[in-house]
Amino acid sequence: MQASQEDRADCLESIFLELKKRCPQIKTLVINADNGPESSGRRKQWLNRLVEFSDKHGITIQLAYYPPYHSKYNPIERCWGVLGNHWRGQLLERVAKTLGLTRSMTYGGIKRR
């Protein structure tokens, strides 16, 4: 199930507040988006929430869209591909199993600790 526009904006708010504690000098936030329909510039509610967020925190937001059909450049998409290969088609019927498989994967030569 896709997160609603409000859910994504609320998640952005909570992540930003944690980041701001560690890096209070932040003035610009760059959001890498996959050019899909959920993060499209045509989604007026999403853009409205970003403007409200920007105004509230006094920061500049830059949206950086990956070109269409170029998810290979998106590090999250690459990680999902590696994870999918690691699962080897196993049915992920339990959260514990899913987390166990995730913890045992290696990505870019780095194993999760």
Model-level pTM greater than 0.75?
A: no
Low-confidence ranges of the chain (pLDDT < 70): 1-9, 35-42, 71-72, 107-113
pLDDT of the residue at 92: 80
CA distances from 86 to 2, 70, 75, 91 (A): 24, 22, 16, 12
